[in-house]
Amino acid sequence: MSSKRVVVTGASGLLGRAVLAAFKQSKWTVMGTAFSRTGMDLVQLDICNKEKTEEVIKNFKPTAIVHCAAQRFPDKVEQDVDGTVRLNVAATKNLANLAAELGAIMIYISTDYVFDGTKPPYSESDIPNPLNMYGKTKLQGEQVTLDANPNHIVLRVPVLYGPVEYLGESAVTVLLQLIYDSEATKLVSDNEIRYPAHVDDIASICVDLLELKETNAEVKGIYHWSGKEAMTKYGMVRDMASVFQLPMSHISPDPNPSQGTSRPQNAQLSNGKLENLGIGKHTPFRVGIESVLAGWVQRKKSEGL
């Protein structure tokens, strides 16, 4: 059994599933925890339960924790601010302190939504200014992580896509449905700019960061990783339609800012600090989205759509 032992929280989630797989593949001894989707080999754990979390984590004796569990849907955050603070901030603080106590390094997954999106691209030293509660709680999560141990790592990432259990699981894959809902004309945002990243790219960066840290104590603090292609939602839809040769004449670009919870216009994260460490992985969007959505498109075809 490897002496490298990692706990992945949120291992049933979009990113956590990929992170768990990447550490398994790299021969780490892994324990994935989940809250409600605890099939397969995941350990059921409510990380808001401090005592139980201490018991489970201490029993496993990790050398690292990759903390993916969070409430990450901005609209749901606004509906339950107290619950989100318990999960995104208080539980994060507990995990970061536990890791420090056990001599383990924690990677806390954060977001480009800590920035207001007015002056991209953002480097790690730029001052955050989150526009919504989601971004605020994630920023507080960063602060409690680095307060617990400045050797911990914060990895900020953009909107993610990857293999999904349902199309709405990712803000990217959900757009496929718009192509199939062709009875009415649709306006799709061509305003906010995003840099989508494949979850496998982020998972591989997590492994590389922890492995590099074994020989380089300077690997600590905040890092950014972003996809390399600037895209609006409309641009993503256009690429999906083109990759799968689907009609999209019912969809038009909407140049106006999106309604609802405030979101940054363009919070591009610069990749330079990670690239200087020799770390980074980028799956081209058309390649990644084709592999992620092929099964879904096939399913729609077999339904006669």
Ligand X SMILES: NC(=O)c1ccc[n+]([C@@H]2O[C@H](COP(=O)([O-])OP(=O)(O)OC[C@H]3O[C@@H](n4cnc5c(N)ncnc54)[C@H](OP(=O)(O)O)[C@@H]3O)[C@@H](O)[C@H]2O)c1
Binding interface with ligand X (CB under 6 A): 9-10, 12-16, 34-37, 45-48, 68-70, 72, 87, 109, 111, 138, 157, 159-160, 171
In the complex with ligand X, the residue whose CB is nearer, 15 or 64, is 15
In the complex with ligand X, the residue whose CB is nearer, 182 or 228, is 228
According to DSSP, residue 257 is labeled P
- Which position has the token pair 């603090």? 221
Return the closest-CA partner of residue 96 out of 138, 52, 149.
Answer: 149
Sheet holding 105-111, edge to edge: 43-44, 29-34, 5-9, 64-67, 105-111, 153-157, 221-224
Q: Nearest distance from residue 71's CB to ligand X, in Å?
A: 7
Q: Nearest distance from residue 92's CB to ligand X, in Å?
A: 9
* Cis-peptide into 121, omega within 30 deg: yes
In the complex with ligand X, the residue whose CB is nearer, 224 or 238, is 224
In the complex with ligand X, the residue whose CB is nearer, 94 or 149, is 94
Quote the Cα angle for 259-263-266, to 5°. Answer: 120
Q: Nearest distance from residue 229's CB to ligand X, in Å?
A: 15
Residue closest to ligand X (Cβ): 13
Separation CA 213–CA 234 (nearest Å): 39
In the complex with ligand X, the residue whose CB is nearer, 81 or 246, is 81
Q: Nearest distance from residue 129's CB to ligand X, in Å?
A: 17
Q: Nearest distance from residue 118's CB to ligand X, in Å?
A: 19
Are the C-beta atoms of residues 12 and 46 closer than 8 Å to each other? no
